[in-house]
Amino acid sequence: MKLFIDTANVEHIREINDWGVLSGVTTNPTLASKENRNYRDCVREIAEIVDGPISAEAISCDWHEMVAESKEIAAIADNINVKIPMSTEGLKAIKALSAEGIKTNCTLVFSTNQAMLAAAAGAAYLSPFLGRLDDIGNDGLAILEEIVEVFDLHGIETEVISASLRHPQHVIGSALAGAHISTIPYNVFQQMVNHPLTTIGIEKFLCDFEKIKDL
Ligand code: E4P
């Protein structure tokens, strides 16, 4: 399973990229609004930092406008794909963009039926939102598992990006479910790397070496 970061913060992207673990980036208008800068400039900078796929979201509502906007977004850099929300207009845009060779990430997917529709329309990626499903009392991981099972059974090649992840257990669950990609918030990356026994272990090794370093 590839690891993406879910943010528009370039400092956070640089840091996790420097760890050597990053395969791509997803952003959305909410994440971008936290950065308080021009969205397209931000996406351009992200695409220069990370070699892998970068998802940038189209915000138009009519499919013709989505297609026009997506072409502008995709032209920013070769590694950019366009996030299109799951909707009837979105499906039409995915179909048209796919026919023109522009990769899309169908976002705001909350059911296996939506996932099958996005794949049939030609989405390169689709993003089930686990945390938001959990927030309303559904089981996000169970829906992810169902999507992956259906896609495996029918040889569907659309890559499943496990999204809206809230904690490290979501990442493990996504890997076990067979998601192709998990897109992970910065704070969850920090939680994944840290373990109290590792911290204690490093301190003890350093402390014990102090006792023999001058011998
Ligand atoms: C996915 O690509 C989305 O940007 C993201 O995972 C949404 O997560 P949220 O539910 O924490 O806003």
Predicted confidence (pLDDT) per residue in 11-47, tens digit = 999 999 999 999 999 999 999 999 999 999 999 999 9
Q: How far is the CA of 211 from the centre of ligand 1 (A)?
A: 49
Tell me which residue has its CA closest to atom 7 in ligand 1.
164
pLDDT, position 113:
98
pLDDT, position 32:
94
Predicted confidence (pLDDT) per residue in 116-150, tens digit = 999 999 999 999 999 999 999 999 999 999 999 99
- Choosing from 2, 34, 71, 83, which is the catalytic residue? 83
pLDDT, position 136:
98
Q: What are the C-alpha distances in Å from 68 to residues 84, 113, 155, 170?
A: 12, 27, 31, 35
pLDDT, position 30:
94
CA angle 27, 56, 33 (to 5 degrees): 50
Q: Please, which residues bridge with residue 15 across strands?
A: none
Distance from CA of residue 143 to its chain's centroid? 17
For residues 109-140, one letter each, b for 16 or more C-beta atoms within 10 angstroms of the residue's C-beta and e for the rest, the string is: bbebebbbbbbebbbbbbbbbbeebbeeeeeb
Q: Which atom of ligand 1 is nearest to the CA of 31?
A: 4
Q: What are the C-alpha distances in Å from 30 to residues 8, 26, 57?
A: 9, 12, 10
The mean pLDDT value for 88-101 works out to 98
Predicted confidence (pLDDT) per residue in 39-88, tens digit = 999 999 999 999 999 999 999 999 999 999 999 999 999 999 999 999 99
Does the annotation count 71 as an active-site position?
Answer: no
Distance CA 133, CA 141 (A): 9
Closest CA to 77 of 97, 47, 49: 47
Question: Does the pTM exceed 0.85?
Answer: yes
Tell me which residue has its CA closest to atom 8 in ligand 1.
164
Predicted confidence (pLDDT) per residue in 178-209, tens digit = 999 999 999 999 999 999 999 999 999 999 99
Q: How far is the CA of 29 from the centre of ligand 1 (A)?
A: 10
Q: To test the ligand 1 pocket, which listed residue (2, 5, 6) has its Cβ within 8 A of the most ligand atoms?
A: 6
Q: Which atom of ligand 1 is nearest to the CA of 163?
A: 6
Predicted confidence (pLDDT) per residue in 147-179, tens digit = 999 999 999 999 999 999 999 999 999 999 999
pLDDT, position 200:
98
How many of the other CB atoms lie within 10 Å of CB of 31?
16
Mean pLDDT score across all residues of the chain:
97
Q: How far is the CA of 92 from the centre of ligand 1 (A)?
A: 23
Rg (CA), the chain: 19
pLDDT, position 185:
98
Q: How confident is the model at residue 115 (pLDDT cuts 50, 70, 90)?
A: very high
